[in-house]
Structure formats: C-alpha cells, structure tokens
Amino acid sequence: MVTAAQPFTAHEAGTLRDTKTPRASRNRAIAAVRHLGPNWYASVMGTAIVATAGAGLPGHVPGLRTACAVVWALSLTLLVALLAARALHWRHHSDQARAHLLDPAVAPFYGCLSMALLAVGGGTLLVGRDWIGTPAAVAVDAVLFTAGTVIGLAAAVTVPYLMVVRHRIEPGQASPVWLLPIVAPMVSAALGPLLVPHLPAGQPRETLLLACVAMFGLSLLGTFVMLPVIFARLVTSGPLPLALTPTLFLVLGPLGQSTTAVGKFADAAPGVMPAPFDQGFALLAVLYGVPVLGFALLWLALAVAMVVRARRQGMGFAMTWWAFTFPVGTCVTGAEGLARHTGLAAFDTLAVALYVLLVAAWSVAAVRTAHGLLGGKLLAAPR
C-alpha cells in the first residue's frame, strides 16, 4: 500500500501520468459517447424553442428579450457540443450507430437532428441577431435551415422505408416517436418564411414560400397517416410503458407547428404571392389554426392525465422528458400567430399560459439531465 510518506513507484507514476494525458482524456470521451443516441438532439430543440417562443409573447416584459437571447446561445452551444459528440460516435462506434438505424425504437429520433438545426437557426434570426447582427444571423440561419431541411426530408423518407423493409414491428409497438421524422419538414415549413424577406424579390421569395407550403402538406398528410395508428395502439393495447408516456406530448408537435406554419405563411405572403393568394393565406391561418389548436389542447389534456397516472405508478426521469418541451413550445408559437391574425386577447392569454408550462417543463428536464450526466447514468449502456 502506498502511504503519504512513500514515493510512487515508476509504474504507478506512469499510470498516473497516463490518466492525465490528452490521449487518455480523448479515449474517455470516445468511450463515453458509445451510447449517445440521436434522441439527445431533443434537448437542443427543447432549449431553442424556449427562446423563440418567448420572443413572440405579447406585451413587453423587462429583461425577457435578453433572457431569450441567453437561452438561444445555450441552445447553440448544446448543438455544437452534440454535433461533435455524435461525430465521435459515428467515427468510433459505427456498429452502434448502425444498430440505432435498425432499431425501430431509436431510428425515428434521427428526425431530431433536423429539428435541432432548424430550431437553432430560427432562434438565431429571431433573437440571436440582437447579439451578432442581422447579416450574420441571416447567414447562420440560411446554413442551418438548408442543412436541417435536407436532413429532415431524407429522414422523412429513410425512416419509414426502414420501418417497412428492415424493422420488424409488432402491432403493439406503435409509438408517438414515429411522428418525429414526419414532423421535421413541418418545422422547415414554419421557419422557412423567416428567410423569405431576405431573398431577392420575385421568384426566389415566392419559390421558398411555396416550398414551405409543400413541406407543410407533406408533413400534415404524413401525420394523418401515422396518428390513427398511434391512437389505435393506445386504445387496443393500453397505456404506453411508463418511460415512454411523456412521448404522448410529441403529438402536439405537428399540431402546434402546423398552426405556426400557416400563421407564418400569412405573415410572409403579402408582396410575395399574387392576389388573391396573398389574402388566402390570412384566411387559412385562422380557419385552419383555430380548430387544430383546439384539438391540440384536447390532446394536451389527455397527455397530462396519462403522465400524472404514470408518475403515480413510479415513472422516473428519462430523456423522454424532453418531449414536454418542444411540442408545447410549438403550441405557444401557434397561439401567438393566432393572436396576431385574430386580435383576440384570449390567444395572448393562452400563449402566456402555455409558455409558463414550457419554461417549467424545460427547467425540470434541464436540471434532471445535468444531474444524470454528472452522475454518469444517462450515458451508461441501456439495461
């Protein structure tokens, strides 16, 4: 035994030095990311939506804009860190990465990469410009929007293809997670109109806007296909496993994001689309947005009831808790859009109430995630 009075042997000293070398640190980092799945991008999405949703709230709350910018900077930092970690994962654990693609429970989370890029890009243009300036914000958003859209469209095709030809899925395995690759193009549809005013007038603006409308339709019809399967699974097979219960909130994603998208179309259409289509988008924003947001509130109530039940039965923390954030945030932005286009204070009130819920959910998920990372539990091999 080595005591305080005894010198280290040559072997012990060499071992001690090895644990402190950059190579040893890199090896530990490589080992740590073996089980880092694409679901971790949900933390980026959930953080970015706190910034973008807060920026559109009614009234003027002192310090809110600055707080949103800080949260956006945090989301950007998280995105860069996760991209680096996932690059290590693919480089050094390609067997695990391929296994993720062939796992029907994990593969849909590849849609989260697209949405993380898009959410941070949109936040850059909405609040990040306060710190880096509009030209830089437009450039960053253009890069992230393009990459996120391409990845999202690829995921919307590849993941369903794998589900059909490679995955072996039982009827009782249907999950709201299946919506993730389908909803990614809807995020592009909702955030693309922010870039329209920064394009040359004429066909470039109209092309981007109509491309967003096409992605809106792609995602919406895909949701119409998936949602009945998911609800049928709940009715015929009973509640989801406890750890998966928070994923019920994912259904809010396409509902709130599509409501947000039609509002953004109406904002961007004047001066871009010829008459009468420019005014038609304003009608669509209300006639589509109000009933869909109403259904979103119905689903929110159902999801909350199921989560309360699961919590009483012992549901513990898992990364699925991030499902409480981004989908609720899309309902906030949807309500904000309806408030703009109807002038009703009721939608302002709804947006504020949902934002309070979003911030509370994000705070809990962020604290529990940080605690799990420090304790090493979240990066451990799945049981």
**Range among 54-63, 346-355, 366-375 with highest mean pLDDT value:** 346-355
Distances (CA, A) of 191 to 91, 194, 267, 268, 310: 31, 6, 12, 11, 34
Distances (CA, A) of 202 to 20, 100, 135, 196, 197: 59, 44, 21, 10, 11
pLDDT over threshold 60, residue 63: yes
The predicted structure's pLDDT at residue 94 = 85
Q: Which residues contact 93 (CB under 8 A, 6 or more apart)?
A: 30, 33, 34
Range with the poorest average pLDDT among 170-174, 332-336, 358-362: 170-174
Which residue would you say has higher pLDDT here, 149 or 372? 149
pLDDT over threshold 60, residue 111: yes
pLDDT over threshold 70, residue 16: no
Rounded-to-integer distance, Cα 133 and Cα 252, Å: 33
pLDDT digits (tens, 9 = 90+) for 222-270: 999 999 999 999 999 999 999 999 999 999 999 999 999 999 999 999 9
Rounded-to-integer distance, Cα 109 and Cα 87, Å: 16
- What average pLDDT is seen over the chain? 90
- Which tokens belong to 79? 């995105």
Element (H, E) at 145: helix 134-165
pLDDT over threshold 80, residue 358: yes
pLDDT digits (tens, 9 = 90+) for 24-52: 766 777 777 787 889 999 999 999 999 99
The predicted structure's pLDDT at residue 25 = 67
Range with the poorest average pLDDT among 3-7, 91-95, 174-178, 255-259: 3-7
Which residue would you say has higher pLDDT here, 170 or 218? 218
The 8-class DSSP code of residue 133 comes to: -
> pLDDT band for position 22 (50/70/90)?
low
pLDDT over threshold 80, residue 1: no
The predicted structure's pLDDT at residue 97 = 83
Which residue would you say has higher pLDDT here, 168 or 152? 152
CB 35 within 8 A of CB 382: yes
Distances (CA, A) of 5 to 1, 2, 8, 16, 232: 11, 8, 10, 17, 70
Q: Which residues contact 378 (CB under 8 A, 6 or more apart)?
A: 319, 369, 372
State the angle between helix axes of 41-55 and 110-123 in degrees (0 to 180), rounded to the nearest 10.
Answer: 30
- Cβ neighbours, 10 Å, residue 306: 17
> pLDDT band for position 71 (50/70/90)?
very high
pLDDT over threshold 80, residue 382: no
Rounded-to-integer distance, Cα 73 and Cα 91, Å: 27
Q: Report the share of the chain in percent with pLDDT over 70.
A: 93
Q: Which residues contact 272 (CB under 8 A, 6 or more apart)?
A: 196, 205, 206, 209, 278
Q: What is the pTM of this model?
A: 0.91
pLDDT over threshold 80, residue 21: no
pLDDT digits (tens, 9 = 90+) for 267-296: 999 999 988 888 899 999 999 999 999 999
What distance separates the 2 farthest-apart alpha carbons in the chain? Answer: 88
Rounded-to-integer distance, Cα 236 and Cα 294, Å: 25
> pLDDT band for position 167 (50/70/90)?
confident
The predicted structure's pLDDT at residue 315 = 94
State the angle between helix axes of 252-268 and 180-191 in degrees (0 to 180), rounded to the nearest 10.
Answer: 20
> pLDDT band for position 15 (50/70/90)?
very low
pLDDT digits (tens, 9 = 90+) for 183-228: 999 999 999 999 999 999 999 999 999 999 999 999 999 999 999 9
The predicted structure's pLDDT at residue 20 = 57
